[in-house]
DNA sequence: CTGAAAGCGCTAACAG
DNA sequence: CTGTTAGCGCTTTCAG
């Protein structure tokens, strides 16, 4: 007992942290009892509860979750790996996830992969070492082996917003095919038949889904989609500016442009404006994502709403489910519908050409 | 030894995690030695190093940082508390911080306070319980007592982007006064003398700094700033729309508007457009922040660049310094300059009124 | 150069 | 209803 006392003072001098032992001593109860009143995991007399809680307040006690986690193998923190947390769409997703998880008493470690699979791997390793209870990830690439390996170690993981081929991991994605389809249908109904398409530099499942849906809708109306109407670019604003100009040069008869994302669509509006065309009077533009900017741009952008909050909700729910019962048989695949938001940037076709 | 063996199998069955003991046994060395080759904290024969490292690979060993942290009292994770991680400016800050800290081998737990001090408090508590090495915070309010208390416990904390009164905590802020001053000087030089001002609903140090600098610059030129030219609103796009209309109604002779943030400034452009005024032909607009949107809006916005990455860099550096040597005497206060970015939304005054 | 052993602060049997 | 005890997996003396 005496030696214990001495150690106690030792520690207090270095770090001003009071531990469960301190409060046990002060409240004159066993350490176990204190633990139990904290976690409400056993019947304790009211008198004791009161005494313990009071000393906890007196000493400003805050449990050391590290120690607890070491025992319970549960950290109440999950990892979120995204390519770029400053990308508006990911920022929105991560904020939603953080909020939901906060209400379930989880914290989230946010990691940027910067579209680099090596960094993704690094992060996965540290997250594992920090014993996170699970991981939400928007993969940097289509590579999924390392993710599968990670899952097989026993740490739940769910993929967000991307479809990786040949993989048995829970996934939550938006219905990109339907989104592209709806966008095309809408433009058709406005009378547009000659439509330009701004695409990613190379196909990824999500953008490909959009394109396939788009083309399918045209085909249904008997409109032959001219592959020449596709221009591929990056995914920035300036890429959109360039792309729109290229498209118009290749095919001046175009009366509408669909872009696989909003930023490029907005860029396209700027590019068209620079060409002297008025949107939507002379030409219509439709985007994809519904980033905040799209509603406040001039003209505001008609776009397919990316269901950020739904996605965050479903993904969090799924992950928590996997965490609570780790028996994993077949991966879930949740597809979230998205909705077309009609705004100023589109109008009935006036057959410009 | 036998009993040990049995326990080993026990654990392996439940969680597929191999620990330092496993690799010690397999490599036929002491646990201590393994630890030392991992952390390169002692001379170990090459032969042993090789053997140990090989078994680490064979068993796919990943250290349990929880256990280590429990001993060393160092978690290599820091907490970042911001009001809203989907706000573009904070998203940018947080991405930068994450990147810098990643390179120094830290992880960051991102927390949203949602401008709610109680949530901020909650987060502070869990971060403390999770034994973060330090905290970066953009406070939700001007209240700072809880932060000071937190600091006094011994956890380094630095305040970002806000100046709290009467507080002895490290702070990194932008030079708001200078920013406001520069903006006003610039408009003066374009010949504007009757300038509207869109302000926050109530003063906060950072917005107040901008305003004071602004007014000071006008005074230097002998321009009397009409308090009636100030309209207060929220900080959203739509608030800016409203504010601009109100200003023009109150004082139709205004030839330029300065807004305390970009979003409202962009809203103002929209509002003015709706009033039939052309920006910048009829009226100039200047914002503050330089959010990504400002450069791509039509017309692009002249604005004071908020030094996000500089701020993230300085704040991280300061925090890491405090973590490595915890002797705290006087709080540092780092002021980061910001620069005026001139774009399309402003032009020489043509004395409209 | 290497090993044994004592904890970090907490939880969870087990034993009253 | 309450206490004792044995670890969680690692680091760090101390003792060769």
Sorted by where each begins, the domain ranges of chain A are 3-63, 73-174+308-336, 176-307
- pLDDT of A329: 85
- pLDDT of B42: 80
Give residues 31-90 of chain B lying near strand D (Cβ < 7 A).
31-32, 35-36, 38-39, 41, 63-64, 67-68, 70-72
List helix spans (H) across B104-234.
Answer: 117-129, 145-153, 176-189, 205-220
Instruction: Let me know: does A129 contact A150? Beta carbons within 8 Å.
Output: no
Residue A84 to residue B176: CA distance in whole angstroms: 28
A50 Cβ contact list (under 8 Å, min separation 6): none
- pLDDT of B353: 52
**In terms of Cα–Cα distance, which of B204, B179, B199 is closest to B115?**
B204
Q: What is the dihedral of CA B80, A137, A77, B100, to 10 degrees?
A: -30
* Structure-token pair, residue B20: 């330092």
Residue of B nearest to A96 (CA): B86
- pLDDT of A287: 96
Report residue A232: phi and psi, to 5°: -100, 145
* Structure-token pair, residue B147: 């932060």
CA distance B237 to chain A (A): 7
Question: Cβ of A47 < 7 Å from strand D?
Answer: yes
| CA–C1' B274–C4 (A) | 81
Q: For residue range A133-177, list pLDDT tens digits in order.
A: 999 999 999 999 999 999 999 999 999 999 999 899 999 999 999
Instruction: Let me know: does B190 contact B284? Beta carbons within 8 Å.
Output: yes
Secondary structure (3-state) at B158: strand
Identify whether A120 is preceded by a cis peptide bond (ω within 30 of 0).
no
HSE, side-chain direction, 13 A CA sphere, residue B249: 8
- pLDDT of A6: 30
Residues in chain A: 353
* Structure-token pair, residue B353: 């009124």
**In terms of Cα–Cα distance, which of B175, B227, B178 is closest to B199?**
B227
B88 chain-A contacts, CB cut-off 8 A? 86, 88, 91
Instruction: Let me know: does A321 contact A275? Beta carbons within 8 Å.
Output: no
CATH number for the region A176-307 comes to: 3.40.50.2300
The residue behind tokens 């704040």 is B315
| CA–C1' A41–C10 (A) | 14
CB contact under 8 A, B65 and A237: no
- pLDDT of A13: 29
Question: Cβ of B275 < 7 Å from strand D?
Answer: no
Question: Cβ of B293 < 7 Å from strand D?
Answer: no
**Which ranges of chain A have pLDDT less than 70?**
1-16, 351-353
Report residue B236: phi and psi, to 5°: -105, 175
CB contact under 8 A, B94 and A86: yes
CB contact under 8 A, A125 and B62: yes
Q: Which helix (H) or strand (E) holds B24?
A: helix B20-27
B84 chain-A contacts, CB cut-off 8 A? 95
For chain B, how many helices (H) and strands (E)?
14, 12
Rg (CA), chain B: 27
Name the packing angle between helices A2-14 and A20-27 (round to 10°): 130
Residue B311 to residue B85: CA distance in whole angstroms: 16
CB contact under 8 A, A296 and B64: no
**Which ranges of chain B have pLDDT less than 50?**
1-15
CB contact under 8 A, A130 and B77: yes
CATH number for the region B3-63 comes to: 1.10.260.40
B65 chain-A contacts, CB cut-off 8 A? 126, 129-131
* Structure-token pair, residue A194: 């000659």
HSE, side-chain direction, 13 A CA sphere, residue A282: 12
B73-174+308-336 matches B3-63 in CATH topology: no
Q: If you ran DSSP here, which 8-state letter would residue A202 be given?
A: S
From the number of C-beta atoms within 10 Å of its C-beta (0-12, 13-18, 19+), residue B325 rates as: exposed
The DSSP secondary structure of A265-328, one letter per residue, reads: HHHHHHHHHHTT--TTTT-EEEEEE--HHHHHSSSPPEEEEP-HHHHHHHHHHHHHHHHH----
Print burial letters for B280-303: b (CB count within 10 Å at least 16), e (below 16).
beebbbbbbbbbbbbebbbbbbbb
Q: Which residue is nearest to nucleotide C7 (CA to C1')?
A: B71
Q: Which whole-number Å values give the CA distances from B301 to A278, B146, B277, B340, in the listed order?
A: 21, 39, 16, 11
Question: Cβ of A45 < 7 Å from strand D?
Answer: yes
Residue A12 to residue A64: CA distance in whole angstroms: 15
Residue of B nearest to A132 (CA): B66
CATH of A73-174+308-336, one of 3.40.190.10, 3.90.1150.10, 3.40.50.720, 3.40.50.2300: 3.40.50.2300
Pairing verdict, β A134-137 and A157-160: parallel
- pLDDT of A16: 62
Q: Which helix (H) or strand (E) holds A107?
A: strand A107-112
Q: For residue range A306-336, list pLDDT tens digits in order.
A: 999 999 999 999 999 999 887 888 999 999 9
Secondary structure (3-state) at A147: helix
Q: Which whole-number Å values give the CA distances from B138 to A274, A341, B172, B206, in the listed order?
A: 40, 34, 10, 12
């Amino acid at each position: 007992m005496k030696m214990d006392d001495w150690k106690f003072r030792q520690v207090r001098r270095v770090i001003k942290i009071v531990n469960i032992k301190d409060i046990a001593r002060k409240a004159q109860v066993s350490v176990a009892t204190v633990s139990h009143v904290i976690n409400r995991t056993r019947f304790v007399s009211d008198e004791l509860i009161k005494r313990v809680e009071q000393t906890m307040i007196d000493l400003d006690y805050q449990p050391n979750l590290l120690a607890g986690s070491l025992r319970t193998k549960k950290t109440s923190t999950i990892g979120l790996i995204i390519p770029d947390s400053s990308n508006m769409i990911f920022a929105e997703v991560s904020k939603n996830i953080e909020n939901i998880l906060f209400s379930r008493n989880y914290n989230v470690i946010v990691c940027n992969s910067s579209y680099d699979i090596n960094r993704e791997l690094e992060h996965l390793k540290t997250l594992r070492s920090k014993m996170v209870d699970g991981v939400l990830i928007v993969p940097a690439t289509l590579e999924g082996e390392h993710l599968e390996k990670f899952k097989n170690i026993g740490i739940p993981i769910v993929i967000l917003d991307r479809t990786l081929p040949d993989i048995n991991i829970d996934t939550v994605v938006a219905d990109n095919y339907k989104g592209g389809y709806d966008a095309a249908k809408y433009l058709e109904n406005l009378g547009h038949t000659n439509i330009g398409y701004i695409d990613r530099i190379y196909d990824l499942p999500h953008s490909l889904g959009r394109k396939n849906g788009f083309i399918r809708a045209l085909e249904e109306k008997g409109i032959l989609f001219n592959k020449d109407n596709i221009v591929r670019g990056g995914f920035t604003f300036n890429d959109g500016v360039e792309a729109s100009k290229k498209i118009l040069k290749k095919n001046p008869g175009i009366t509408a442009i669909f872009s696989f994302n909003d930023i490029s669509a907005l860029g396209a509006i700027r590019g068209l404006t620079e060409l002297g065309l008025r949107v939507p009077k002379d030409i219509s533009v439709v985007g994809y994502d519904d980033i905040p900017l799209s509603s406040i741009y001039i003209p505001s952008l008609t776009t397919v709403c990316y269901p950020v909050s739904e996605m965050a909700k479903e993904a969090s729910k799924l992950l928590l489910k996997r965490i609570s019962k780790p028996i994993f048989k077949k991966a879930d695949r949740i597809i979230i519908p998205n909705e077309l938001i009609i705004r100023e940037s589109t109008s009935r076709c006036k057959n410009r050409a």
